[in-house]
Amino acid sequence: MKFQYIEKPVGKIFSRRDFLKAGGVMTAVVAMTGYAITDIIKRRKSYIAMRQEGLYKDDKRCQNLKLTSSHQNPSCAKSYEDLKTEPMGEIAEKLLHTNAYFDRKNLILQGANHA
Residues that bind another protein (CB under 8 A): 36-37, 39-41, 43-63, 67-76, 78-79, 82-83, 87-88, 91-92, 94-108, 110-111
Q: Rounded CA gap, 30 and 37, in Å?
A: 11
Q: Which CB atom, from 27 or from 72, has the smaller least distance to another protein? A: 72
* Phi/psi at 96 (5° precision): -115, 0
Smallest distance from the beta carbon of 76 to another protein, in angstroms?
Answer: 5
Q: Which CB atom, from 16 or from 43, has the smaller least distance to another protein? A: 43
User: With 0-12 CB in 10 A as exposed, 13-18 as middle and 19+ as buried, what is 85?
Assistant: middle
